Amino acid sequence: MTNEFLFQKIKEKKSFLCVGLDVDLEKIPKHLLEKEDPIFSFSKAIIDSTHTYAVAYKPNLAFFEAYGVEGWKSFKKVTDYLNDRYPDHFTIADAKRGDIGNTAARYAKVYFETFGYDAITIAPYIGKDAISPFLEYENKHTILLALTSNPSAKDFQYSKENDLLLFEKILKLSQQWDNSENLMYVVGATKSESLKSIRKLVPNSFLLVPGVGAQGGSLRDVATFGLNSQCGLIVNSSRGIIYASDKNDFDIAAAEKAKILQLEMEDYLKSAGII
Amino acid sequence: MTNEFLFQKIKEKKSFLCVGLDVDLEKIPKHLLEKEDPIFSFSKAIIDSTHTYAVAYKPNLAFFEAYGVEGWKSFKKVTDYLNDRYPDHFTIADAKRGDIGNTAARYAKVYFETFGYDAITIAPYIGKDAISPFLEYENKHTILLALTSNPSAKDFQYSKENDLLLFEKILKLSQQWDNSENLMYVVGATKSESLKSIRKLVPNSFLLVPGVGAQGGSLRDVATFGLNSQCGLIVNSSRGIIYASDKNDFDIAAAEKAKILQLEMEDYLKSAGII
């Protein structure tokens, strides 16, 4: 998917919402546990009920992988469902992978080609070798972890070298790599005070912003400091939407939560003159 | 597995060799492609032929994941085979995972409990939150990426803050965390000149050293600067062993390569007065 197509969808739907599929069998409605594949059944219902309000979906690999081979089967089913049924939605494999060159090339191939994702999240620690193989894919997006939403993000991400914090160095350096137009960045909503300086370093890049809702990030702050003329934001909510209810009405409750966020986003997009 | 047991095995076998299972269907002997599960058949033959010379095995998750659900089935079979047949070998899931707290806990559970690995490799970028859930497991080992063997390791790992390089900061800070005795570190053999300063920061920790052989690292240098009184080294070789031959004799050729490394290691262990 091109950035232009994504922006077009954002304008049509008046939304830059991504729904995170962090499916935990201990949290989903109990009646779904009787299904043949509860992870898929839950994900399918959430996708069907929220697709009007969301422009993107982000299955978190860890939650699938936690169930071993069975979890991987569910991941494949969820992925196929997204591709077949909602090809106009931007799909993100939240994998946070990162490995040296020849291994990175294999990850790129499986997520972009075999599974057909539009984007994948990647950890930057290993450096350019780990990232270039992903950037070679046209109209596919590599979302580098820059500033994560968790408390200990400061342990290493704020390491300072010549007045540049490590995450700022990652933003700056990666912009100089070949095919850097295929880069996006993860910036936690809990770190919205950093969005101003981040926007100076990557004015045109899309930012994937987790941490709104359950983790306490403010959507208003994120929109104020993060929006650019092409929107430039994909804001993710996982738990706040998918676990809105643990009863039979879970999908309706999820849709309601998604709609609330979409309406708020619509306001911000209007205020910024984007729609 | 405890560090003491691992050290005992190193002394018994006169070896600190780890065989990396980076199984690539394009590189394995053609006749194996007719088997029901070529990845498993190849891995099993390599394990059976090298187990005398190796103290550890390290399946690289990316290589399995590259084949989607089928790859995960093979990963499970290889894992079960190692656990059932060679329980005294140290097993490392080379996953390079790294995610925020609640997600990290799921990864720890699946690799340490469900799959029963002794150790897992973890990327440090997200900070302590991503690592602590792994450290809570007694006699399980968390192997943090410190200094990787690839050329672009310098992009971020050498970022300097107050005279401390980023990988040194990771070593230093992580040693202060609870259960830090469960930490090991990845240090590429291609960076053996850094082993002296690394040993000052983590004198007692085991180091997992990839990059000997195909990537050009010198085993002699690694042993000279890396050995401590409890050995403290696990040196990995993947391609140099497992692809020693692409003919019917691939397992015999692999054993020969493993034996050459074991004999060299025996010399270094003797010179250092460890055996």
pLDDT tens by residue, B129-147 = 999 999 999 999 999 999 9
As for the ipTM of the complex, it is 0.95
* Residue A91, pLDDT above cutoff 80: yes
B118/chain A closest Cα distance in angstroms: 17
Q: Of A73, A76, A96, A169, which residue is the catalytic one?
A: A96
What's the whole-number mean pLDDT along residues B8-32?
97
- What residues 248-267 of chain A have any CB closer than 8 A to a CB of chain B? none
Give the one of B60, B66, B69 whose C-beta lies nearest to A76's C-beta.
B69
* pLDDT of res. B184: 98
Residue B159 near chain A (CB below 8 Å): yes
pLDDT value at residue A215: 76
Shortest alpha-carbon distance between residue B127 and chain A (Å): 5
The average pLDDT across A148-165 equals 94
- Residue of A114, A123, A152 with shortest CB distance to B123: A123
By Cβ distance, the residue of A65, A72, A160 closest to B161 is A160
Closest CA to B147 of B90, B208, B86, B206: B208
Per-residue model confidence (pLDDT) at position B171:
98
- Residue B63, chain A, CB below 8 Å: the answer is yes
The mean predicted confidence, pLDDT, of chain B is 96
* Probe site for chain A from B24, B100, B190 (most A CB atoms < 10 A): B100
Partner B contacted by A216 (CB < 8 A): no
With contacts defined as CB-CB under 8 Å, which chain B residues touch A78? none
Q: How many CA atoms lie within 13 A of A270 on its CB side?
A: 8
What's the confidence (pLDDT) of residue B65?
Answer: 95
Q: The pTM is what?
A: 0.97
Residue type, A55: V
Tell me if chain B has a CB within 8 Å of the CB of A68: yes
Nearest to A103 by CA among B238, B111, B125: B238
CB contact, 8 Å: B173 with chain A?
Answer: yes
Give SS3 for A118: coil
Q: Is A203 on the interface with B (CB under 8 A)?
A: no
Check CB contact of B90 with chain A, cutoff 8 Å. Answer: no
Q: Averaged over A214-243, what is the pLDDT?
A: 94
Question: Is residue B101 very low, low, confident or very high in pLDDT (cuts 50, 70, 90)?
Answer: confident
Total domains present in chain A: 1
CB contact under 8 A, B76 and A97: no
A35 catalytic per annotation: no
The pLDDT of residue A234 is 98
Q: Which residues contact A102 (CB under 8 A, 6 or more apart)?
A: none
**What CATH number is given to the structural domain containing A169?**
3.20.20.70
Neighbours of A214 (CB within 10 A): 15
By residue range, what is the domain housing residue A126?
3-271
Counted across chains A and B, CB pairs separated by less than 8 A come out at: 154
Q: Residue B7 — pLDDT band, cuts 50, 70, 90?
A: very high
**Interface-testing mutation among B69, B97, B110, B125, with chain A (most A C-beta atoms within 10 A):** B125
Summarised one tens digit per residue, pLDDT across range A202-219 is 999 999 999 887 777 899
The nearest CA of chain A is from the CA of B259 a distance in Å of 26
What pLDDT is recorded for position B271? Answer: 97
Residue B193 has pLDDT above 90, yes or no: no
- Number of alpha carbons in the 13 Å side-chain half-sphere of residue A145: 29
- Closest CA relative to residue A99, chosen from B93, B150, B131: B150
